Amino acid sequence: MKVLSNVLTSLFAVFVMTSVSPAMAETTKTWNEQEVLSISDNLSNAARRLRVECRSSPPKYFEETSSFHLVFRYHVRHFVSVAYQLNNALEDGQGEAATYPIYQTLAGMRSDLTGYAQMKGGAWPPVQKAVAEVDKYLIELGAYYSKQ
């Protein structure tokens, strides 16, 4: 129970420290449906690769991080699902206003992914690389949604 409490405390600290929206990291770009759809396609593919890496790369089992890997896998599954929802909405022709809430959900989940990848004794290098790729595409998308 103490380990779970420490993990939850660490999660909260990581969330607070990394909760800056990806939209704030880049300048605003004018909405371009084709470019946004292309970035969304890349994000969906990167999310799928993250899920594969998470499944194939075993966690580093240290007392303070072993249960965090299970939480991380849950967040990855949820992130993949929401990334696919965004991509499907954009493919269906939904615009910036309609897809903004989906993007915000993804941006809010960013800290859950990066927190584990950056945790000492957390992810293996292939998982860290996959998280960095997902983060890159979230930041690119953020430039289109930053006016909201």
Characterize 37-48 residue by residue with b for buried, 16 or more Cβ atoms within 10 angstroms of its Cβ, and e for exposed.
bebbebbbebbe
Per-residue confidence (pLDDT) for residue 2, from 0 to 100? 46
∠ Cα 67 71 75 (to 5°):
160
What is the gyration radius of the CA atoms in the chain, in angstroms? 16
- List Cα–Cα distances, 119 to 7, 36, 42, 68, 124, in angstroms: 11, 31, 25, 10, 10
Cα 124 from Cα 12, distance rounded (Å): 22
Write out pLDDT tens, residues 65-86: 567 777 888 899 999 999 999 9
Per-residue confidence (pLDDT) for residue 112, from 0 to 100? 82
Per-residue confidence (pLDDT) for residue 65, from 0 to 100? 54
Higher local confidence (pLDDT), 148 or 145: 145
- Residue 93, pLDDT > 70, answer yes
Write out pLDDT tens, residues 11-65: 333 333 344 444 444 588 999 999 999 999 999 999 999 999 888 876 655 555 5
Per-residue confidence (pLDDT) for residue 103, from 0 to 100? 97
Q: Is-contact 36 147, C-beta < 8 A?
A: no
Write out pLDDT tens, residues 98-142: 999 999 999 999 988 888 777 776 667 888 899 999 999 999 999
- Residue 5, pLDDT > 50, answer no
Cα 28 from Cα 115, distance rounded (Å): 26
pTM: 0.76
